[in-house]
Amino acid sequence: MTPLLTYEPPLIHTFFGRLVGMSRRVHEAADFVDYAGDRWAERIMSEVIRDQFHEKQGRTISRWTLTAADGRTLTVYLKRHYVLPRVNGLLAALFPRHAWSTGLQEWEHLEWAKSVGIPVPRPIAAGELRGPWGLLQSFLAVEELTGMLPLHEAIPLAAERLNASDFARWKSRLVVEIAQLARELHRRRTFHKDCYLCHFYLLRDDCLRVPETFRLQIAMIDFHRLARHRIGVRWYQVKDLAQLLFSTVGVDGITDRDRLRFWKHYCAGDWTGSTPPRGWIRRAVERKCRLYDRHNRRKQARTASKS
């Protein structure tokens, strides 16, 4: 594992000083400075990056390719949040050692996921920029999953490239791993909250053959909403599973038999520290999935009526 460096300016020791002053809290992988250069944290929020650029509600995401002096390249996806709740900035002034921004929180979530054996993209850099009177911005850079596809693209590709018997074996092994990943989160009472097929990634080459196993070969992304709950566990469990079920609708190659296989493997295995799901949970998941589908259809109808 790449060692990490943490830069934290000397803390201002009074609340008022933190309230009216400016500070920066930054984490980086040890090799990131080779690519980004010295003092990169001072300019990262203003870098103009247009590759796969998306902007929405005060935040942007873009694909950033960096080149080191020796010619090595590093490609990351950079998320930048320019407008965060002012209350979070005030809390950062009150409790400066905690992560109050989206960027630093997702960094911590990715580190936690790695620590429990869930494959995730390598976090490269993250930071929290704290300004006067509760102003707060943040960023997160994660290494690109080169050569990998989201499952809603990988599964149709495998269905097209593999013969029927190989594809059936391919799917059965894939389902086992997806079920295990979901169970590993949920038995710890930890929930992704954005648990769609597009947030599971698989090597493109693994769509062209039948691996012996997919164990630790499926990566999960987008952990910004990850949270652990002691209360309302079943609600969050149903929501995660319903999101996953909903995202399988309309994907070429996925059948009801695959969904039943997922449920069988999800309920089996190690549930140490938690209670295996009961039958009523499956019915609740199916009901929630229908609600997602109904909402999506209404949204599409409204969009069509406006165009």
Dump pLDDT digits (tens) for 281-305. 999 999 999 999 999 999 888 888 8
302 within domain boundaries: no
Q: Are 222 and 101 found together in one domain?
A: no
Nearest to 102 by CA among 123, 81, 83, 129: 81
230 within domain boundaries: yes
35 within domain boundaries: yes
Tell me which of 86, 118, 143 is where a domain ends: 143
Please, are residues 240 and 186 in contact by the beta-carbon 8 Å criterion? yes
pLDDT in tens, 175-223: 999 999 999 999 999 999 999 999 999 999 999 999 999 999 999 999 9
- CATH code of the domain containing 204: 1.10.510.10
306 within domain boundaries: no
96 within domain boundaries: yes
Identify the segments of the chain with pLDDT beneath 70. 1-12
Question: The tokens of 145 are what?
Answer: 């999953």
220 within domain boundaries: yes
- pLDDT of the residue at 168: 97
Q: Are 162 and 32 found together in one domain?
A: no
- pLDDT of the residue at 92: 92
What 8-state DSSP symbol labels residue 269? S
Tell me which of 143, 178, 210 is where a domain ends: 143
Dist CA 116 CA 189 (whole Å): 13
Q: Are 54 and 174 found together in one domain?
A: no
- pLDDT of the residue at 1: 39
Q: Are 133 and 64 found together in one domain?
A: yes
Burial of 19 (0-12, 13-18, 19+ CB in 10 A): middle
Count of domains observed in the chain = 2
pLDDT in tens, 82-94: 999 999 999 999 9
Q: Are 130 and 168 found together in one domain?
A: no
Dist CA 281 CA 85 (whole Å): 35
Q: State the residue range of the domain holding 168.
A: 148-297
Q: Are 152 and 224 found together in one domain?
A: yes
- pLDDT of the residue at 172: 97
Q: Are 120 and 159 found together in one domain?
A: no
Tell me which of 120, 143, 166 is where a domain ends: 143
Q: Are 127 and 175 found together in one domain?
A: no
- pLDDT of the residue at 155: 98
- pLDDT of the residue at 301: 87
Q: Are 117 and 153 found together in one domain?
A: no
Q: Are 170 and 285 found together in one domain?
A: yes
Q: Are 91 and 173 found together in one domain?
A: no
Q: For residue 265, give the 3-state DSSP assignment.
A: helix
Strands (E), the chain: 4-7, 23-29, 54-56, 59-67, 73-81, 123-130, 136-143, 148-150, 190-191, 200-203, 219-220, 227-228
